[in-house]
Chains A and B, each alone.
Chain A
Amino acid sequence: MNLEVKIGNMIMKNPVTTASGTFGYGREYTEFVDLNLLGAVTVKGISLEPREGNPPPRIYETPCGMINSIGLQNVGLKNFIDEKLPYLKGFDTRIIVNILGNTIDEYCELSSALDGKVDAIELNVSCPNVKKGGVFFSSHNEMLRTLIKEVRATIKRSTLIVKLSPASADIVIQARICEEVGIEAVSMINTIPAMAIDIHTRRPRLSNITGGLSGPAIRPIGVRMVWETHRAINIPIIAMGGIVTAEDAIEYILAGATAIAIGTANFVNPTVTLDIIEGIRKYMLIHDVDDINSLIGGLIC
């Protein structure tokens, strides 16, 4: 049975990774998960300088989901390379580092510093561009193109992934732009902008007022977007959005995903990544599938 998949130059021993921001820097979960068994570990988004994030409350649970506005709290590039990365390197798994910036220059500085040190770099493009009045990079196709083109030029060795937002004008068009620019893979979907109100106090549930919705509630939206995108591009998709079980993972693979990332479910059950890998194996056994790659985009319609 083959579970190995390829994302750009990166070969994953199985299609399962973690969604950025839900697995810390990997170490936080080692009491529950043997990282060696994962296809890849995707760590929390890294910025050039450490970020303190938003004031609390930062999370709020909604039906079958949660809204978060952590505010991208992270240790910054230097601390990540000096303190977090060496530990992760001790495991036989692929390392994907999510990066985020306020300007194109910041992204480029991050990507050049990490190139070759990690297996893949994932660009979080759902960040405000401070030089363009705080408009999200992902909200304008041409702004996105400029950003990813410039970052592309800084990377020689690591695989480059762009994480697409479901809030962008058209996620399929943005995936096409990624392919045109020579990005090796896209990951999707990021959280969906959302909010909740305490009707008794009339105040927002989150200090940041709005946040990103994740969890099983968003899965059907993610599956639809992955399917539409898969039909439009030839580069691999790492799918995420509400995966809790192996069945959910298979659903995304049939829609067109080459690999899948587990996010919010890590908070529900810390061993979920391993349970899903096992469940995928069982599914393949029951359905007589020898190679996971033969399932990708296997939707019959």
Chain B
Amino acid sequence: MEVIDNREITDRVFILRLRLTESVLKPEPGQFYLLRPDTGYDPLLGRPFSAFRWNSDWIEFLIRKTGRGTALLSKFRPGDHIRLLGPLGRTFPSPSPHKTPVLLAGGIGMASVYSLLLNRKGDYIFIYGAKSAPELLLTEDIKPLVRELYLCTDDGSMGFQGNVIEFFKKFVKEAPSHSIVVYACGPREMTEPLMKLLRTYNIEGYISLEERMACGLGACMGCAKHTKRGMKRVCMEGPVFNIEEL
């Protein structure tokens, strides 16, 4: 796919926009694509990224530079080509009208839950955390789309001082558990304790998980995750899991 735009929004995060042709299906919120620079065999494998924003002409990915693959993708310029495989995986289920949807995003996990916010109507509460204020991305874009937005930073440079989990612990004490449904995406340090918390309070929840991945098609078994029903593939049975399964 052709790169239309590649914009740095912080020194480590960029938004990559690719032209959508008719051959590529549009995603559902929570789904992902494998992106591979067509520049030889190092890096070798595609990298999985959640669909962030899209319309009928283009699709965007919100990407943080973490290694060789993402660093290379950050250097792509309009007119360059990137191989795109997808959409892959399961989506976030649409929020039920009887429950308040609460979105929990940690760091770059924002990309995945943001796609739900943009594409599914709901009276959202958004809890968004990062290490420090500059890493809280696009908060002005989020604000008009949600009923309440809570920001958390580890260093206290913006909003609540502490991580998303610490904030959410306080939050659930005040919200009746049967009236909310949680959609979350973030680093393992966030999703692991979140699962426990949601179980403790008996809250319905869907978490998008991350794992190293090769084929994206369920063949290599590289992205397996332990669940109640044995090993499941993040690329096929995920990336969005109902916490009941985990």
Contacts and interface: CB of A to CB of B under 8 A. Distances in A.
Interface of A: 21-24, 28-29, 31, 44, 52-53, 55-61, 63-66, 68, 70, 73, 215-216, 244, 264, 266-270
Contacts of B83: 269
B144 interface: no
Q: Is the interface of B mostly helix, strand, loop or mixed?
A: loop
Size class of the B contact interface (CB-based, 8 Å): 20 to 34
A31 B218 CA distance: 12
Interface in B202-238: 211-226, 230-231
A211 to B, nearest CB: 10
Given A66-B44, A268-B46, A53 B221 contact: yes
Nearest to A65: B44
Contacts of B71: none
Contacts of B219: 22-24, 28-29, 44, 266-267
A57 B36 CA distance: 21
B44 A58 contact: no
Lowest 8 CB-CB distances: which A-B pairs, in order?
Answer: A24-B219, A59-B222, A28-B219, A267-B214, A267-B215, A64-B41, A64-B42, A216-B41
B215 A270 contact: yes
B110 interface: no
B214 A66 contact: yes
B231 A266 contact: no
Interface of B: 36, 41-46, 69, 83, 85, 211-226, 230-231
Nearest to B216: A267
B222 A58 contact: yes
10 contacts: A23-B219, A44-B221, A52-B231, A61-B44, A61-B212, A68-B220, A70-B222, A216-B44, A264-B214, A268-B41
A57 B211 contact: yes
A240 B219 CA distance: 18
Nearest to B69: A61
A124 B211 CA distance: 27
A268 B45 contact: yes
A268 B225 CA distance: 22
Given A266-B215, A270-B215, A58 B45 contact: no
Given A59-B223, A61-B212, 5 more contacts: A52-B230, A53-B231, A59-B214, A59-B220, A216-B41
A66 B221 CA distance: 14
Nearest to B234: A56
B101 to A, nearest CB: 29
B44 A56 contact: no
A280 B213 CA distance: 30
Given A22-B219, A266-B219, A59 B212 contact: yes
Contacts of B223: 56, 58-59
B188 to A, nearest CB: 11
A66 B45 CA distance: 9
Contacts of A65: 44
Of listed B36, B41, B42, B216, residue having the most chain A CB within 10 A: B41
